[in-house]
Structure 1
Amino acid sequence: MLPTLIATDVDGTLLDGDEHVTARTRAAVRAAVDAGTHFVLATGRPPRWVPPVVEELGFAPMAVCANGAVIYDSATDRIVSARTLSAELLTTLADIATRVIPGAGLAVERVGRSAHDAATPQFVSSPGYEHAWLNPDNTEVSLEDLLSAPAVKLLIRKAGARSADMAAALAPHIGIEGDLTYSTNNGLIEVMPIGISKASGIEEVARPLGIAAEDAVTFGDMPNDVPMLRWAGLGVAMGNAHPDALAAANEVTTTNADDGVARVLERWWM
């Protein structure tokens, strides 16, 4: 199979441990793109965290962001589409989250028309929210303000907890309201609109191009990558992947620190 579309997760997959695209991986991706293959980033990151990846790659691909809720054209800095949780649904989900996981902090991701749309506060959190990453860029607001506008995802954070345990506790209560996933086991759960995943986002990009799932190869390492690993004709898990991603994949490559993406792409384009 010569893939006509490559879709890859970013953190723990395309990027190495220092958040760089290695020279080998960059060369393999560019060889595929130069041959006419479509390349898509598929990430839990919001659009405003995509530009550093674009800089590492050396070109600006389409990006499926926020676990499939947002399609972002990084070449034109334009939000193409966004799927959101309504304010009413966010309120319901927040009530469930704080009841099932006492002490949990809440945050939401919103999008405007571009990656850094100043008219739209993009990452707002409840007072005292503890960021799961090292580069916090949240704005604290009241819980009422937090839930007052549609958002592409709700984040439920409990410092010191395991995301897998949180997901197991929340699933019986939230499963019919939103789709649960996580991209780190560091006490952070992400709630998406029902039916939204990286797979649905990639399909939204692929459909107008006439590309079917069987013509795609996807790469990932965490539970939020499982839908796209199952969707593609060839789903590849990284050697450092979570057990759920390993189980969903057709094959396993080496780790993100050992050019796992490049080693697969080089079969066809190097």
Structure 2
Amino acid sequence: MGIVTSAFEPAAHPAPYEKTFADPAPRLIATDLDGTLLRDDKTVSARTVAALEAAEAAGIEVFFVTGRPARWMGVVAPHLAGHGIAILANGAAVYDLRADRLIEAFPLPEEEALAVAYALREAVPGTTFAVERTGGIHREPAYPLIEPDRPGSTTPVEILPLEALLAVDPAQPLLKLLAKHPRMDPDDFLATALSVAGRHGEITRSSESALLEISGAGVSKATTLAKCCAERGVTAAEVVAFGDMPNDLAMLGWAGTSYAVANAHPQVLAATTRHAAANEDDGVARVIERIIAARR
């Protein structure tokens, strides 16, 4: 497994891809996007595009496993593998992006979302919330606007309190509750949320700010990736995974081979046995190139 519990000392250089005699050949690459595969400007480098194409040509499937919703996948949509499938919203949804079709969702129950929100409001005053459904995002008045509200919306979603947000588009699966605080340390915010509301859902973070992402209990990048792999007859030992933030830890722990990019959160660096170059230095692409070279 890629996760260890021993103390970590940073390596001077990224660990190379090394295959031992007993290791099965990788059949699937699972990679996070922001801070991992994408550059800081949210683009895909030419080297990374070439590496993704080479992996597919070599018969290695590539799955994008991200916290992003479907509407934010345009940056990588042209570089999807032939299957066109991506795992979104930290494992809460599986999409066929080529067909623009939700394949499967693992929703957060509305009552659990409210329980998390009430607990966080009491423990951390000033927390504001948004609701991510398959059809889009709905937010409280004080929740920071990070993208334009839904075009054509007849109800200004920004005027709705949380309880009303959960009543908007109820037929659309509730993928995530988002909790934002303007000043709190992000790691402290996560620790507090886990202590007061962890039993109500899967609480994690992928942002540099105090932004929490809450999915249904037991729903993570790891659980949905494991399900997708099982449907393809791929074992954990045949998966190479890449990530950079706490929401990647479960996936990195499940995969047989795991890499943290050099710019990863300290907790992720400490928890992984292998390290790739930073996202700005095409760390994922470099490892993919070595994987393909080792197959020859």
User: Aligned with 2:64: secondary structure?
Assistant: strand
1:37 equivalent in alignment to 2:56: no
Residue from 177, 185, 193 that aligns with 1:162: 185
The aligned amino acid for 1:18 is D
1:152 alignment partner, SS class: strand
Q: CA deviation at 1:143?
A: 2.4
How many residues are aligned here?
A: 259
Aligned counterparts of 1:41 and 1:259: Cα–Cα separation in 2: 16
Describe the shift of the 1:33–1:137 C-alpha distance in structure 2 as closer, same or farther (beyond 3 A): farther
The one-letter amino acid paired with 1:249 is T
Q: Corresponding residue for 1:256?
A: 279
For 1:146 and 1:99, the matched residues in 2 are separated by 19
Bigger shift: residues 216-225 or 26-35: 26-35
Matches within 5 A, 1:76-91: 76-91=99-114
Deviation at 1:57, TM superposition (A): 5.8
Give 1:142 deviation, angstroms.
2.9
Match of 2:197 in 1: 174
Contact 1:214/1:233 (CA < 8 Å) preserved in 2?
yes
The Cα RMSD (Å) is 1.7
Matches within 5 A, 1:126-137: 126-131=140-145, 133=146, 135-137=147-149
**What residue in structure 1 maps to residue 127 of structure 2?**
104
Equivalent of 1:192, from 215, 218, 229? Answer: 215
Is 2:97 the counterpart of 1:74?
yes
Deviation at 1:241? Answer: 0.3
- The match for 2:71 is 48
Worse-superposed segment, 136-145 or 35-44: 136-145
User: CA, structure 1 residues 169+268, in 2 after alignment: closer, same or farther (shift >3 Å)?
Assistant: closer
Q: Which residue of 2 is the match for residue 94 of structure 1?
A: 117
Partner in structure 2 of residue 143 of structure 1: 162
In structure 2, what is the Cα distance between the partners aligned to 1:40 and 1:205? 10
The 3-state SS of whatever aligns with 1:52 is coil
Q: Contact 2:61 / 2:81 at 8 angstroms: preserved in 1? A: no
Contact conserved, 1:164 with 1:185, CA < 8 A, in 2?
A: no
The 1:186–1:49 alpha-carbon spacing in structure 2 relative to 1, beyond 3 Å, is same
Question: Could you tell me the percent identity over the aligned residues?
Answer: 41
Please show how residues 195-210 of structure 1 align to structure 2 within 5 Å.
195-210=218-233
User: Residues of 1 paired with 2:79 and 2:255: CA distance?
Assistant: 25
Following superposition, the deviation at residue 39 of structure 1 comes to: 0.9
Match of 2:9 in 1: none
Q: Which string of whole-angstrom CA distances, capped at 9 and with x for unpartnered residues, describes residues 171-191 of structure 1?
A: 111111111100013010111
TM-score (norm 2): 0.83
Bigger radius of gyration, 1 or 2? 2
1-structure distance, mates of 2:102, 2:206 = 22
Question: In 2, are the aligned partners of 1:26 and 1:57 still within 8 Å (CA)?
Answer: no
Unaligned ranges ≥5, structure 1: 112-119
Task: Find the aligned partners of 2:259 and 2:88 in 1 and give their Cα distance.
Answer: 19
How much has 1:70 moved relative to structure 2? 0.5
Q: Normalization by structure 1: what TM-score?
A: 0.90
Residues 162 and 185 in structure 1, CA contact (< 8 A), matched pair in contact too: no
| Change in CA separation of 1:26 and 1:260 when aligned onto 2, cut-off 3 Å | same
Matched residues in 2 for 1:65 and 1:24: separation?
Answer: 24
In 2, Cα distance between equivalents of 1:191 and 1:136: 22
Q: Which residue number in structure 2 is paired with residue 24 of structure 1? A: 47
* Counterpart residue type for residue 141 of structure 2: P
Contact 1:20 1:56 in 2 (8 A): no
2:37 aligned partner = 14
Structure with bigger RCO (C-alpha 8 Å, 6+ apart)? 2
Residues 13-39 of structure 1: per-residue CA shift (max 9 Å, x gap):
111112111111111111111111111
Q: Is the 8 A contact 2:44 2:75 kept in 1?
A: no
1:259–1:177 Cα change, 3 Å: same
Corresponding position of 1:117 = none
Separation in 2, partners of 1:91, 1:70: 20
